[in-house]
Amino acid sequence: MHFMTALRAAWQSRNSLLCVGLDPYPARFPAHLQGRPDAILEFCKGIVDATADLVCCFKPQIAYFAAQRAEDQLEDLIAHIHERHPDTPVILDAKRGDIGSTAAQYAVEAFERFRADAITVNPYMGRDSVEPYLEYADKGVILLCRTSNPGGSDLQFLDVGGGERLYERVARLVANDWNGSGNCGLVVGATFPNEIARVRHIVGDMPLLVPGIGAQGGDIAETMQAGGTAAGTGLMINSSRAILFAGSGEDYALAARRVALETRDAINANR
């Protein structure tokens, strides 16, 4: 199924705009999982199974798996999500960016090896560097636009002419030129609600991945006001650490579910 079709269906069926980010950090795992060779997979499966009915998508961050030599566990985790929660799209957060021939290999890695439904991509190297992902017309390609970190302003806020800022140019380019297959989305941080509103104005109803609530302190109400569409959807609002590490005991998945539920409900209260 097309990523966008699956996302829209999940927004409706789950009544949720929440994306749970899967950033497994072994030092924060509960004691009963510490030291197990499959700890990353088991930790993430616990979170996924406890929260799947509350989310519109999951977003594993590849660095947390690669740093632990656990790419095989990432493959197994995504297979588990497809098998047990088939209506829940998976965004592989990899923020790739390279020349076309190399990008083609990254696209194979994301969509064929890991079987992700969407990937995050850095647009800085331009259209030909993004083309190999766009060619997978049923997969989502989610481009960094206005990132949540403070240093994002160093470049993304530069005036690229006529008062237009770089992140606005990215939004305009993606909406007008790169989205021929309707499979593009943009990343805009919850820590910058004014920019979420600017991007929403530029791109219409295009889905926005919005990290930055929870551990980074972004405001849910401001995010919703700035980025929600007329239909009350259009957003994948990501929270990782605040949900993953809500508890530190054997019942960590229950604690994660409690925070995921609160977060989903806080989002819905502002739709």
Ligand X SMILES: O=C(O)c1cc(=O)[nH]c(=O)n1[C@@H]1O[C@H](COP(=O)(O)O)[C@@H](O)[C@H]1O
- Please pick, from the candidates 179, 183, 223, 240, the single residue that binds ligand X as defined by CB under 6 A: 240
Q: Segment 128-147, which members bind ligand X (CB under 6 A)?
A: 147
Q: Which is nearer to ligand X, 17 or 35 (CB)?
A: 17
Interacting span for ligand X (CB under 6 A) from 43-51, 102-110, 163-171, 237-245 = 237-245
Active site residue 139: no
Min dist. Cβ of residue 190 to ligand X (A): 9
Q: What share of the chain is helix, strand, coil (3-state, %, to 5)?
A: 50, 20, 30
Q: Count other Cβ atoms within 10 Å, centred on residue 73.
A: 22
Angle at 155 between CA 149 and CA 157, to 5 degrees: 85
* Residue 250: closest CA among 28, 31, 86: 31
- Residue whose entry in the numeric block shows the structure tokens 């302190």: 217
Give CA–CA dist 170/213, Å, rounded.
23
Q: Segment 11-70, which members bind ligand X (CB under 6 A)?
A: 21, 23, 61
Which residues 6+ apart lie within 8 Å of 19 measured at CB?
55, 56, 57, 58, 59, 91, 209, 236, 237, 238, 239
- Please pick, from the candidates 46, 97, 211, 228, the single residue that binds ligand X as defined by CB under 6 A: 211
- Please pick, from the candidates 73, 129, 179, 216, the single residue that binds ligand X as defined by CB under 6 A: 216
Task: Say whether residue 223 binds ligand X (CB under 6 A).
Answer: no
Binding mask 78-97 for ligand X (x = CB under 6 A): ---------------x-x--
Active site residues: 95
